[in-house]
């Protein structure tokens, strides 16, 4: 690991700390730092802290999943939702809303939908124990399109009240309703990222091509299956509590690849820090720009991230 690579990740860590403080201080309510730390406003501080933690976990999980899938699938357009997990989670959540299921059971239904989607994609793509990349992508697209069509149909026949909840969930939100759920999701995401990091050398090899990876002694199909399961579990856990948050898992890995390079030993920790900081920043803006109205987080990530990526891409091309 080069010194300059360490320095870049240290810089990303400093940016993350700044974004955490920014997320804690800023809010729809105009409260000074002294007032925020007082006893009477402690509940507001706890709510903001929980939301910042969820933004960090969601951003880090989506970013690392995007990095992993872009390497495994060798596709620059790969992102956590490509393989149908988000559509499965969405179908599970929409079905639960229609049947009046709320509270902690709603994320559970969404996560169950994500698992079902993962199993469907895997079994459709599997061919004599192997999982070809193209088959995996096509299976994910087919499952995603099918589940999305069912979601649209269910939304069209739902009442206005249920439809509002469906749309808000599908657009993404980082409101925390249950600390226990936040703890469970955080554990799933962090453990998944740690396990993915152990495959950093395999990801370097696989991203250059399967033939090269095989010559290096890597069991390519086994690695693909393990990473597919890990990214699916991470994505399903995040989507079950925050809805669909676009852009983060697609563009942030590319942005950080331009900044800190393609080696996954450096890229995975950098993505954890950078994507987490990015989503905290976007979430803070989403609840502060037009108070008390909150802009959906998926909209904000696209508005903020696209110009930054275009700038970095043009700079890299020059």
DSSP one-letter code for 106: H
What is the rounded distance in angstroms from the CA atom of residue 131 to the CA atom of residue 196? 19
What confidence category does residue 312 fall into, taking pLDDT thresholds of 50, 70 and 90? low
One-character DSSP codes across 218-259 = --HHHHHHHHHHHHHHHHHHHHHHH----SHHHHHHHHHHHH
What is the rounded distance in angstroms from the CA atom of residue 227 to the CA atom of residue 249? 15
Per-domain residue ranges for the chain? Answer: 3-317
- Please, which residues have CB within 8 angstroms of residue 91's CB and are 6 or more apart in sequence? 113, 117, 147, 150, 151, 154
In degrees and rounded to multiples of 5, residue 127 shows phi and psi of -140, 100
* pLDDT score for 4: 59
What confidence category does residue 171 fall into, taking pLDDT thresholds of 50, 70 and 90? confident
Bridge partners of residue 130, in order along the sequence = 127
One-character DSSP codes across 166-196 = HHHHHH-----S-HHHHHHHHHHHHHHHHHH
- C-alpha atoms less than 13 angstroms from C-alpha of 254 in its C-beta half-sphere: 22
b/e code 87-101 from CB counts within 10 Å (16+ = b): bbbbbbbbbbbbeee
What is the rounded distance in angstroms from the CA atom of residue 23 to the CA atom of residue 187? 22
On the question of pLDDT at 78 being above 80, the answer is yes
pLDDT in tens, 191-221: 999 999 999 988 888 887 766 766 677 778 8
What is the rounded distance in angstroms from the CA atom of residue 5 to the CA atom of residue 234? 26
Flag the least confident range among 4-8, 45-49, 191-195, 294-298. Answer: 4-8
What is the rounded distance in angstroms from the CA atom of residue 265 to the CA atom of residue 315? 24
Cis before 195 (ω within 30) = no
Classify domain 3-317 by CATH architecture. Orthogonal Bundle (1.10)
DSSP one-letter code for 1: -
Mean pLDDT confidence for 17-30: 83
What is the rounded distance in angstroms from the CA atom of residue 256 to the CA atom of residue 108? 32
Higher pLDDT, 15 or 304: 15
On the question of pLDDT at 297 being above 60, the answer is yes
Bridge partners of residue 300, in order along the sequence = none
Torsion angle, CA of 254/256/258/259, rounded to 10 degrees? 170
* pLDDT score for 243: 85
Mean pLDDT confidence for 63-77: 89
Taking the alpha carbons of 114, 118, 124, 125 in that order, is the dihedral positive or negative?
positive
Q: Report the interhelical angle of 220-242 vs 133-156 (nearest 10°).
A: 20
């Amino acid at each position: 690991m080069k010194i300059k690579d360490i320095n870049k990740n240290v810089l990303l860590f400093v940016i993350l700390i700044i974004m955490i403080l920014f997320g804690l201080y800023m809010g729809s309510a105009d409260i000074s730092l002294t007032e925020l730390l007082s006893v009477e406003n402690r509940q507001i501080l706890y709510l903001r802290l929980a939301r910042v933690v969820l933004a960090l976990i969601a951003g880090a999980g989506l970013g690392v999943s995007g990095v992993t899938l872009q390497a495994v699938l060798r596709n620059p357009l790969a992102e956590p939702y490509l393989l149908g997990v988000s559509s499965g989670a969405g179908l599970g959540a929409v079905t639960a809303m229609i049947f009046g299921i709320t509270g902690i059971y709603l994320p559970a239904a969404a996560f169950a939908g994500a698992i079902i989607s993962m199993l469907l994609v895997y079994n459709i793509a599997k061919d004599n124990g192997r999982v070809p990349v193209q088959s995996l992508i096509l299976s994910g697209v087919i499952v995603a399109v099918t589940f999305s069509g069912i979601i649209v149909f269910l939304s069209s026949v739902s009442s206005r009240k249920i439809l509002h909840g469906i749309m808000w969930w599908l657009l993404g939100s980082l409101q925390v309703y249950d600390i226990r759920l936040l703890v469970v999701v955080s554990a799933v995401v962090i453990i998944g990222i740690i396990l993915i990091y152990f495959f950093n050398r395999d990801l370097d090899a696989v991203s250059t091509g399967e033939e090269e990876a095989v010559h290096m002694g890597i069991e390519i199909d086994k690695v693909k299956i393990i990473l597919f399961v890990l990214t699916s579990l991470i994505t399903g856990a995040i989507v079950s509590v925050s809805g669909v948050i676009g852009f983060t898992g697609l563009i942030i890995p590319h942005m950080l690849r331009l900044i800190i390079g393609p080696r996954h030993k450096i890229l995975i920790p950098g993505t954890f820090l950078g994507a987490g900081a990015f989503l905290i920043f976007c979430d803070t803006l989403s609840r502060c720009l037009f108070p008390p109205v909150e802009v959906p987080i998926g909209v904000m990530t696209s508005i903020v991230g696209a110009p930054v990526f275009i700038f970095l891409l043009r700079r890299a091309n020059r």
